[in-house]
Structure 1
């Protein structure tokens, strides 16, 4: 694959430029936020309100020393609360204007979550090879999220693993830096504000108009890029925290 990709240097350069400059148009203010959330719901992503950062690295929740400020759902019932209902999302967005939102994975979609540099490399290769890539979100704190179809619930439950298995250390040798969010997990959706004093946030790099692909069509490129990323001793501490 690498040889084939190397023959497309011109195309690779154009894709690199596109990735560096690409940002979907997002309306300013509360209206833009609500429109993006409703678009996510219309694309089939079930949403629920989440905490938001306060004064830098503090969290809006009442937990002292919250370990994931601005990154967790407001309710412990987030999995059953998550919905694509337009009226409910409008109420949440308007009554909680500062709240971030999460989407529950494993029902309609999964998310492959990788370090930003590895994700950019994999995305270039996938696009150059003509592979269908769905929506992709980018966070200013160094992660890239590939939204895919869900693996679903197989007839034989033993053939399915919960998301918790993705974050045990022994899996890092096989999939260094990659987290597969499936049943029992969630991710923030844009527009989400991240902790810090420098205005970090999440953005859509590829919008929700792109159909969700089968995760297995992306997995090899993502794991290869993550292995290269880890092998070059780059920020392996970015292994994501269990939600």
Structure 2
């Protein structure tokens, strides 16, 4: 699949997302992408671990051969203090380690609704039909999709889902707020592939939706996906 095209699954076809400040899916370095996120989106960023070649295989810089997210997790326990929204600071950090993953702390510039990829594509198609405004959405190598929403949204998700008639425990829907993080494109996760944009950051989606605005199609998609 072309990395600049919104994905196609058996349940939904999503149209191309046009326009982006920087193309982080094709040819943009991690340093350039990190600086762009800080400078143009005003997102906090911090460098995580990176991949190292060891005897012909790629391993995480953390040294754990069984690392669950090789090259895509915090390198320091005090990572919240390392996160910065300064483009110049981001440039200095990635200049020291240009292959470090790009991690974005949640609960600051945005929260994240984390869902299975199949549910994510179904939700995107449903939201387009409903004419809802979408924020950026990432697609991870472990077949998850991350919907970016306004900060504070994660704390509301449980009650919002209950009001829609769903049991929060019955849905594979993870709300990521303060104290968590997500990896940003073009970070690679071991040999699994790179994080990509399903809906790229554009001028039109600079203002993120509230969780309340998209929770209905997201919860519906997760519920339908869970019944398969």
- TM-score band w.r.t. shorter chain: 0.7 to 0.9
* 1:131 equivalent in structure 2: 132
Match status 1:228 vs 2:224: yes
* 1:65 equivalent in structure 2: 66
* 2:32 equivalent in structure 1: 35
* 2:189 equivalent in structure 1: 194
Provide the rounded CA distance (Å) in 1 between the counterparts of 2:19 and 2:64. 34
Provide the rounded CA distance (Å) in 2 between the counterparts of 1:110 and 1:62. 30
Provide the rounded CA distance (Å) in 2 between the counterparts of 1:177 and 1:213. 21
Cα–Cα, structure 1 residues 16 and 67, in superposed 2: closer, same or farther, change >3 Å? closer
1:210-221 alignment, distance < 5 Å? 210=205, 211-221=207-217
* 1:179 equivalent in structure 2: 174
Q: Contact 2:114 / 2:173 at 8 angstroms: preserved in 1?
A: yes
Provide the rounded CA distance (Å) in 1 between the counterparts of 2:118 and 2:223. 12
Aligned length: 199
Provide the rounded CA distance (Å) in 2 between the counterparts of 1:28 and 1:226. 30
Provide the rounded CA distance (Å) in 2 between the counterparts of 1:88 and 1:58. 27
* 1:238 equivalent in structure 2: none
* 1:111 equivalent in structure 2: 112
Q: Contact 2:31 / 2:98 at 8 angstroms: preserved in 1?
A: no
**1:16 aligned counterpart, secondary structure:** coil
Match status 1:50 vs 2:48: yes
**1:191 aligned counterpart, secondary structure:** coil
Cα–Cα, structure 1 residues 131 and 76, in superposed 2: closer, same or farther, change >3 Å? same
Cα–Cα, structure 1 residues 111 and 57, in superposed 2: closer, same or farther, change >3 Å? farther
* 2:77 equivalent in structure 1: 76
Cα–Cα, structure 1 residues 178 and 27, in superposed 2: closer, same or farther, change >3 Å? closer
Q: Contact 1:39 / 1:208 at 8 angstroms: preserved in 2?
A: no
Kindly state the Cα deviation for residue 137 of structure 1 after the two structures are TM-superposed. 1.0
Kindly state the Cα deviation for residue 182 of structure 1 after the two structures are TM-superposed. 0.3
**2:115 aligned counterpart, secondary structure:** strand
In the alignment, structure 2 segments of 5+ residues that lack a partner are 1-11, 157-166
Provide the rounded CA distance (Å) in 2 between the counterparts of 1:17 and 1:65. 35
**1:18 aligned counterpart, secondary structure:** coil
Kindly state the Cα deviation for residue 64 of structure 1 after the two structures are TM-superposed. 5.4
Structure 1 or 2: more helix by fraction: 1
